[in-house]
A and B are shown apart, each in its own frame.
Chain A
């Protein structure tokens, strides 16, 4: 029984870190620009497909270093797209009602889905993880897949990188200043527009990177963008919109609730995530860490 529970915890943590990887860029952008970006899942999917395309053109197998390198390349590529999207879309919607911005990002998601379907087809593809990540090791009687360890490590690494950036680097501190009070930041001669662009580029870059890292986590199909974005929405809302730490904690909380729920009521997998999300929103509408400020 104890070992069952530990296995469920490993499972939950893997899910949680995969979700946090998606949510990290999303919550950063929300904290600074108050944009809830539906298209985030779409650009994540684009990153995953880029890694898939590279792996296929290189004969299907990537080494661990290659896999990481191309994930970073996917991140950079999507970051450049982020700059384009900022110029073409987000800049023109500053000051427009949030509902319209949400709808615009949904339109972007549709567009990306269409492009993915058009290039790679509507069917499913598989990316095999690099050879060193295939298989599992035994921690006592519990089986822990190497790929789970990789995803969990990647999630923790992104958390620390973002935390360091926001709290210990000077551009990160400017991002925080703009998130807290853009008007005051303008008075202090901060180029707020540039900070917005930097945030969007980082947010999109994180989406592309997460897409690369998670490419082998599940089958690739054009629905991936929509599925991952809803889980990430859950994490950032429960965590408190805009809070990176909150999203991290919320992803773990939601992962545990969902995994244990599924263990106890196996007939309804996946439902406890939404139950927890709805309950959380009703009890604490502003989330665990209840301020819309990146911290």
Chain B
């Protein structure tokens, strides 16, 4: 379970192209309601990837990722609504704000508290952000910011309008692809290998001259910024941001998705987020069944198949191969 799948670059690009292709093909075959949910799912995939980067590569359990979704969403929405920025600068602002928040939390907390204490501390910080944002008049208190527009994507030479729902969906997919690539490189580059060394043994990594706290902080800030950028997509997509984006349910969702798919695999959170979206959609009319199914599945996975769905598929494939080679 501690092994991150060592897929090479070609394999990564192939899978990414396949997923992106499926996402791009979706509006042609599905109704607008499903396309809307798919856009949300792409955003959740990025958030779950960032969580799992922290959990599986760095060895940090954060129960407060909602804080970064929240400040990213509000940062992006405010940049569009109040500053009139175009889309890409707005995403940058969101990443910056969320990254700074991660830096602040990381500087005070990462060094001092470990494991479960860190999890609860991040939960406290996220709740603080959630309650504070809900009381600020400029940010619309409990009602949030409404009527967030979808400004054009300004690439310098050309301006691409993304006001139509389908165009903005493609924009979400494009940003999702870029951020997924960022997380993959962070995981599989030398940076990621140092982080894994730290996770396995902080003390030994320190003896080898690695700046342990610096690397952990950098990873925490990167995950926070990526989560914030993903969160910033929510405002223009749903046209509203509310304090509920910072509710602790939003922090536990990526955990759930990563575990469902398989936290030990780079693609685990992606599989988990898609499965979660399908489950939520399939059980949407049955009150309480969503929680029973997801809770039950999560429990079954932690108890029986700690590798998640990808881990289960992997061991099934190995079993089949062994049978054949007999």
Interface residues of A (CB under 8 A from B): 36, 88-89, 92-93, 96, 98-100, 102-104, 106-119, 121-122, 222, 226, 230, 233-234, 237, 267-268, 270-271, 274-275, 277-278, 281-282, 285
Contact = CB atoms under 8 A, between A and B. Distances in A.
Interface stretch (B7-15, B82-90, B117-125, B185-193): B117-125
Given A110-B295, A271-B131, A281-B117, A103 B112 contact: no
Interface stretch (B173-181, B213-221, B285-293): B285-293
B236 to A, nearest CB: 29
B123 A115 contact: no
10 contacts: A104-B298, A111-B299, A114-B291, A114-B295, A117-B287, A117-B291, A222-B288, A230-B127, A270-B131, A281-B120
Contacts of B55: 99
Nearest to B109: A282
Interface of B: 55, 61, 108-109, 112-113, 115-117, 119-121, 123-125, 127-128, 131-132, 135, 248-249, 252, 255-256, 259, 286-296, 298-299, 302-303, 306
Contacts of B249: 226
A102 B116 contact: yes
Contacts of A237: 117, 120
B116 A36 contact: yes
A107 B112 CA distance: 28
Contact of A103 (B132, B259, B288, B292): B259
Contacts of A109: 295
Scoring B55, B287, B290 by chain A CB atoms within 10 A of each residue's CB, the highest score goes to B287
A108 B299 contact: yes
Given A111-B291, A226-B249, 11 more contacts: A88-B303, A104-B298, A104-B302, A107-B296, A113-B288, A118-B289, A121-B287, A233-B123, A267-B135, A271-B132, A274-B124
Given A237-B117, A278-B128, A103 B298 contact: yes
Grouping DSSP codes into helix (H, G, I), strand (E, B) and loop, the B interface class, with mixed when no group exceeds half, is helix
A230 B123 CA distance: 8
B131 A99 contact: no
A89 B128 contact: no
A205 to B, nearest CB: 22
B230 to A, nearest CB: 22
Nearest to B292: A114
A114 B124 contact: no
A230 B248 contact: yes
A285 B116 contact: no
Contacts of A104: 298-299, 302-303
A226 B131 contact: no
B295 A89 contact: no
Nearest to B128: A274
B116 A98 contact: yes
Given A89-B303, A237-B117, A122 B108 contact: no
B302 A103 contact: yes
A110 B294 contact: yes
6 tightest A-B CB contacts, nearest first: A114-B291, A110-B295, A117-B288, A118-B288, A111-B295, A114-B292
A111 B290 CA distance: 9
Contacts of A102: 61, 116, 119
Contacts of A121: 287
A113 B287 CA distance: 11
Contacts of B292: 110-111, 114-115, 118
A109 B295 CA distance: 8
B280 to A, nearest CB: 12
